[in-house]
Structure 1
């Protein structure tokens, strides 16, 4: 899918910073390049850095990575359902509850990065399978209407957002 300008009506306002941070990009290219960027940034960090929290109540890098993985799975699932004309209002999820129950800090960084690569490759395959018509289909999640293509950009923007946080506050 070539770069597109998404209308504000294609996604919930909550996601606007993620989408705007990407600018005009090709969705598949940014999903591929951001996979490499994240891997390169954190793969060789020492364990103490991976378990560091820059403030009380904040997540570690391992927890952030698990959060990115979980969120990408959920958003990809939404895209699949919307592309198939599923009219169900899909529920939201509590990201803090997911992280608290993820066991992310007990996993090795290699394991987490491997899982992230597999999830991203699955996301890429899913979005490659969508027709132009499927990209414009709309569904409802957490009470907000979104298009399939907006979900792809949200996935990329969400990961980019958290990678920037890692670079600014953890490294």
Structure 2
């Protein structure tokens, strides 16, 4: 196996995602900071959707296909599958399975495979290595989003809990 610039960040991605959601309650996972912002569960669904699309892109690049690499309508995918009603552990399990598979795939690639490329939805050439770098950067943005949402959820749920207790309900 050859070492590539972004492979270490990629290898860590699932562990970082697991750490980001560890200990969250169902209420915290489902908390939406606003009607137009995703809950942590919806972020997990989106990350899994993104991984499925990236998986297809990887295969197209490795097969030397001339097909334009697909984009996807992330908000519509999350809404259309009723991701908010899904189970965060299911999304995490699928993400983990894809991650384990692709980690092993990348370990068996020849060095030249990392320079293979395809054409993205914008019409730009992107190498396999660039796809993996973008994947890791995308995940990093959503890890920060999960952290912000987790803190907002805990504050909002604590405030709600405090109000209930003050009224004698808890």
Out of 85, 97, 117, the position equivalent to 1:118 is: 97
What is the alpha-carbon root mean square deviation over aligned residues?
1.7
- In the alignment, what sits opposite 1:129? 108
Instruction: Give distance in 2, aligned partners of 1:129 and 1:94.
Output: 32
Unaligned runs of 5+ in 2: 152-170
Instruction: Give distance in 1, aligned partners of 2:89 and 2:66.
Output: 38
- Whether the aligned pair in 2 keeps the contact of 1:63 and 1:105 (CA below 8 Å) is yes
- Whether the aligned pair in 1 keeps the contact of 2:58 and 2:128 (CA below 8 Å) is yes
Instruction: Give distance in 1, aligned partners of 2:93 and 2:132.
Output: 21
Shift of 1:111: 1.9
Task: Decide whether aligned partners of structure 1 residues 38 and 91 sit closer, same or farther in structure 2, where only a CA change above 3 A counts.
Answer: closer
TM-score normalised by structure 1 residue count: 0.79
- In the alignment, what sits opposite 1:100? 79
Task: Decide whether aligned partners of structure 1 residues 94 and 150 sit closer, same or farther in structure 2, where only a CA change above 3 A counts.
Answer: same
- Whether the aligned pair in 2 keeps the contact of 1:62 and 1:109 (CA below 8 Å) is yes
- In the alignment, what sits opposite 1:2? 3
- Whether the aligned pair in 2 keeps the contact of 1:80 and 1:126 (CA below 8 Å) is no
Instruction: Give distance in 1, aligned partners of 2:76 and 2:143.
Output: 21
For the residue of structure 1 that corresponds to 2:119, the secondary structure is strand
Shift of 1:150: 0.8
TM-score normalised by structure 2 residue count: 0.79
- Whether the aligned pair in 2 keeps the contact of 1:43 and 1:113 (CA below 8 Å) is no
Instruction: Give distance in 2, aligned partners of 1:167 and 1:57.
Output: 17
- Whether the aligned pair in 1 keeps the contact of 2:53 and 2:70 (CA below 8 Å) is no
- In the alignment, what sits opposite 1:55? 34
Out of 149, 152, 169, the position equivalent to 2:129 is: 149
Unaligned runs of 5+ in 1: 5-25
Counterparts in 2 of 1:78-89, with a 5 A limit?
A: 78-89=57-68
For residues 65-108 of structure 1, what are the alpha-carbon distances to aligned partners after superposition, in whole Å with 9 as ceiling and x for unaligned? 01111111211211221122111123321111111122322222
- Whether the aligned pair in 2 keeps the contact of 1:83 and 1:134 (CA below 8 Å) is yes
